[in-house]
Amino acid sequence: MTTDIESWLIDAQGHRLKWVAGEFYVGCQPAANESPISIWMQFAGLPRVRLFGKPDGWGIGLDEALPTEVDMGSAGRTVIREMAKVNPFLNCMESVLQGAAWFTSADSPEPVGVRLSFESGGRVLILNWGDELFVDSRPPRDAAPGDLVVHSVEKG
């Protein structure tokens, strides 16, 4: 079974990462952490895509929605921020995507995240982890062995 995420990863291999931004919630209370709600990525010559947590709180989705800030009145708002100059993307910008994988949980065939490995040596993991996007170069500390099943992708 090929997923939209798998197809995107196959297409993106061999292309340079040109742009990355995140959508962040800004509420009335200071946030304990700054995990993005969505992440937009664009590789040279390919459409910009958005990775986001699915409503089930576990899966990760992919679409071509445009970056849009949302004003939720007294509940807060979302803002779009460039992420090119923050880890783990700092060493990946303008670098060619050399390898990629997508993750499922042990209990479901649905994608829960992606791993991107760049020519520069940079690596990015984006996971829908506990109802928020986890973005780092390593898996979450609370990930137990077997929580994530890796599905490597290879370009034709």
pLDDT digits (tens, 9 = 90+) for 59-87: 999 999 998 888 888 878 889 999 999 99
Residue 146 confidence (pLDDT) = 84
62 burial level (CB within 10 Å; 0-12, 13-18, 19+): buried
Q: What is the mean pLDDT of residues 114-118?
A: 98
**Residue 73: its pLDDT value, please?**
81
* Residue 92, pLDDT score: 97
Does the structure show a pLDDT above 60 at 30?
A: no
Q: CA nearest 132: which of 65, 38, 7, 11?
A: 38
pLDDT of residue 75: 76
pTM of the model as a whole: 0.90
Q: How many Å apart are CA 80 and CA 96, to the nearest integer? A: 24
Whether 115 shows a pLDDT value over 80: the answer reads yes
* pLDDT reading at 5 higher than 90: yes
d(CA 118, CA 50): 19
> pLDDT tens digits, residue range 97-112?
999 999 999 888 899 9
2 has a pLDDT exceeding 50: no
DSSP per position, 35-92: --SEEEEEETTS--EEEEE-TTSS-EEEE-PPP---B-GGG-EEEEEE-TTSTTTTTT
Q: How does residue 29 score in pLDDT terms, banded at 50, 70 and 90?
A: low
Expressed in angstroms, the distance from the first to the final Cα of the chain is 16
Distance CA 60, CA 67 (A): 17
Contacts of 134 (CB under 8 A, 6+ apart): 35, 113, 125, 126, 127, 128, 140
Residue 32 has pLDDT above 90, yes or no: no
Burial of 36 (0-12, 13-18, 19+ CB in 10 A): buried
Across the chain, mean pLDDT equals 89
